[in-house]
Amino acid sequence: MGEESQSRWSLPTIVLFVAFAGLFITQIYTISSLRSNESRLATLQSDQAKVREMLEGEVAKMREASALIDMDRQKALDAVRDEVDKARRQARGVAGKVREETLKSVEDLASRVDVSESRLKQQQEAGARVATEITSLKQATNSTQSTITDVSTEVKQVRTEVASARSQMERTIADLRRTTGDMGVMSGLIATNAKEVDALKQLGDRTYTEFTLYKRKDPIKLADITILLKKADVKANRYTLEVQADDRKFEKKDKTANEPVQFYVGRNRQPHELVINQVGKDRIVGYLATPKAPASRP
């Protein structure tokens, strides 16, 4: 008898400890992942800044070199064109065969000048395309930088939400209490409202079924039992239930709100617990807590 009582006292505590440990490990893993993401974002931001600086330097060098080359070629072409014009003028004063040969040489030279100017124009256009591509690359880099900033902001928001949820969960659990049930067994944590029931569900040590039960002739099935509301006294905040579990039918009479109503089902070592949070006119509102993993009672 002493060993059974000790087991009933210690098992909920062990389950609660395991649930808190799991929650703690989950939070540590989440925070570690967030920190790792922030570190990778910082490294990517540094790399983007270096690439942008390098691109800007290369663009400046290309523009300067292109300008110098264009200037030198233009000067050379202008000088050759001057020579062509001068040769044409001289050729007009030469007679016969010499004149024809001179004009042919001049036209050949003029043709080469036109080809050189055409090539220079193509090179200038190619340089302009390269500059446009570099500008597009810079814009893409800036866009990536903006995306990185947005992701970093989202990571911070998620981290804040995780911390807030954990704090709220801890405050809710801290507000819960234990008490001795009507069978003289220490109860699990008792919830008095929907938010606290949600907190108990997150702990995961039991299965929680919320319900609203109206006074009627026929009982209703709830999890693995059936219950029938026989009386609801709003002024006294008391109620009377008829419970059928397995092949047994028994009455839980004049129970008060938030009092753990306990009974065993099957060979479970942990009792089922009914907790009624609200007593209304011909109705009650509460939840049923049942063990998740049934174990044999000696």
Domains of the chain from N-terminus onward: 2-175 (1.10.287.950), 194-291 (no CATH)
Question: E strands, 215-271, where?
Answer: 220-222, 225-233, 238-245, 248-256, 261-263
For the ranges 1-5, 52-56, 142-146, the one whose mean pLDDT is highest: 52-56
> Regarding predicted confidence, which is higher, 292 or 106?
292
Chain centroid to CA 189: 32
> Regarding predicted confidence, which is higher, 158 or 53?
53
Enter the pTM of the model.
0.47
The size of the chain, in residues, is 298
Backbone CA torsion sign across 275, 279, 280, 282: positive
Please say if the pLDDT value at position 4 is more than 50.
no
Q: What angle do CA 17, 19, 159 make, to 5 degrees?
A: 120
38's tokens: 């922030």
Backbone CA torsion sign across 131, 137, 140, 144: negative
Tell me the C-alpha distance between 187 and 177, whole Å. Answer: 9
Backbone CA torsion sign across 60, 65, 66, 71: positive
Tokens 């001049």 belong to which residue?
106
Average pLDDT over residues 68-94: 72
| CA-wise closest residue to 239 among 212, 266, 264 | 212
Q: What is the pLDDT of residues 15-37, one digit of tens each?
A: 566 666 676 687 777 777 777 77
Please say if the pLDDT value at position 97 is more than 70.
no
Please say if the pLDDT value at position 8 is more than 60.
no
Instruction: State residue 242's pLDDT score.
Output: 96
Q: What is the pLDDT of residues 141-151, one digit of tens each?
A: 777 677 777 76
